[in-house]
Structure 1
Amino acid sequence: MSQDLRERAHDVDATLRVGKSGLDPVVDELRSQLQDRDLVKVKFLRSARGGTTTEELAEQLAERADAELIRTRGHTAVFH
């Protein structure tokens, strides 16, 4: 994982939010956004987390969207 991507991830605004509907509604949207931009930041709302962690949800989303998880911090994750 590139240090450059981690540094650039800091300045990216969250363009997707995962809420109570879970990951299903955002998988295709994440794929689509990654075609247009290098990095996409996703915010995991409290209603999406339930009994799981942001890290677990981010890993699941990365796998389902064929994306690379760059980092998680707090309740957000950055994908490439």
Structure 2
Amino acid sequence: MENSAGLFITFEDQQEIQLESKNVKTENIQGAADWKKYTINVVIPKDTDKIIIGGFLKGKGKVWFDSFKLYIDGKNV
């Protein structure tokens, strides 16, 4: 199994039905690595009521995430 880590963003409506989801996997990083900034750019679906953001690890190992930020139209929310 290939190890990977990444970010995800999911949009849900008022009934918590998923409207859209996008994730970005990082390069196949092995061993220690310096901190690196990753971003996801998306268009927010019209009926979005809830935005869920986070990080994931697929496979074995450890991953650290820090300073999640959400910008809408260039403004940090």
Name the structure where strand makes up a greater proportion of residues. 2
Q: Which has the larger radius of gyration?
A: 2
Name the structure where helix makes up a greater proportion of residues. 1
Q: Which has the higher contact order (CA 8 A, sep 6+)?
A: 2
On whether the aligned pair clears a TM of 0.5, the verdict is: no
